[in-house]
Amino acid sequence: MGVDIDSCIERLYLGQILEEREVEQVCRALRLLLAEEANVVAISAPVTVIGDVHGQFYDLLEIFSIGGRCPDTNYLFLGDYVDRGHHSVETISLLACLKLRYPQRIHLLRGNHESRNITKTYGFYAECIHKYKGSAQTWHEFTEVFDYLALAVTIDDSIFCVHGGLSPSIQHVDQLRVVDRFEEIPHEGALADILWSDPDAEIRGFGRSQRGAGYTFGGDVVERFLHINGMSHILRAHQLCMEGYLVQFNDRLSTVWSAPNYCYRCGNVASLLKVDPYLQRDFITFEAAP
């Protein structure tokens, strides 16, 4: 690889974006690495799990300050790195470089915002154009990388982690392993559902989602999924939590939200989730960086 990855990381921690050609090289190398990753990656605890960050770079630095830097701490990010916040470029650049540098210490799942269509509407595209002087090249590079991001992670075969939620097309995790993920997120199907669905304590089975993609799913769906797959818990993100996290369905599903004062307007607290070697889960909440 022609780029000095440690220098990139150092500059990014200071909030300095990479040059366009560095982004190209990092993304090219990252795609090669991610191509070897399965749709569902198996990892072990301890690991610190992070929910949506949405371009809130200074809050990402706060996360590293509280949770420890990678590679000293193992991290699992559940997606939605870009859009809405003002520093999506810095955020995804740093995470991409960390993944390249420490591939076993940090895992990055795909969120529904890791998409060409969504990033055109919700800010990442515009930010790339602005920060790279009218060039869309970096947006092209990053969105290509997004196609390669893994869809789910299992922690010690017990905790199932995705960005959104469950799909009526996926009863067993093995079904997710054989999906062809290397494409733009489609409007429907298993890939869309995993990234867009939401739990709903008021229903049983699957329901229609207000979002226009994915489904809502009830506690019975969660129980059935965990039982069939021999797992104990589902971790996901995707939904704003005023308290930073939300535990539902008799502690069978948790939502982690890691963007404090979301969009600089919501006034919410955020959290990171520490999973210890005994699979105990501990939420640490934090407020927006000043």
Minimum separation from the CB atom of position 165 to other proteins (A): 14
Q: Going residue by residue from 183 to 222, which x/- string records binding to other proteins, judged by CB under 8 A?
A: ---------------------------xxxx---------
Non-local (6+) Cβ contacts of 82 within 8 A are: 54, 55, 88, 91, 92, 113, 114, 119, 123, 124, 142
Which of 3-11, 42-50, 96-104, 113-121 is the region at the interface with other proteins (rule: CB under 8 A)? 113-121
Which is nearest to 149 in space by CA: 28, 12, 30?
A: 30
Judged by CB under 8 A, which of 77, 122, 124, 217 binds other proteins?
122
**Annotated catalytic residue: which of 54, 113, 233, 238?**
113
Which is nearest to 12 in space by CA: 88, 78, 71?
A: 88
The alpha helices in the chain, defined as continuous H runs, are 5-13, 20-35, 57-67, 88-101, 116-122, 124-131, 137-146, 173-177, 190-196, 219-229
Q: Is 121 in the site for other proteins (CB under 8 A)?
A: yes
Which of 38-46, 121-129, 151-159, 224-232 is the region at the interface with other proteins (rule: CB under 8 A)? 121-129
Question: Is 172 annotated in the active site?
Answer: no
CA distance 12 to 90: 7
Judged by CB under 8 A, which of 118, 190, 192, 237 binds other proteins?
118
Catalytic residues: 113
Site residues for other proteins per CB under 8 A: 84, 112-113, 117-118, 121-123, 210-213, 239-240, 242, 261-268
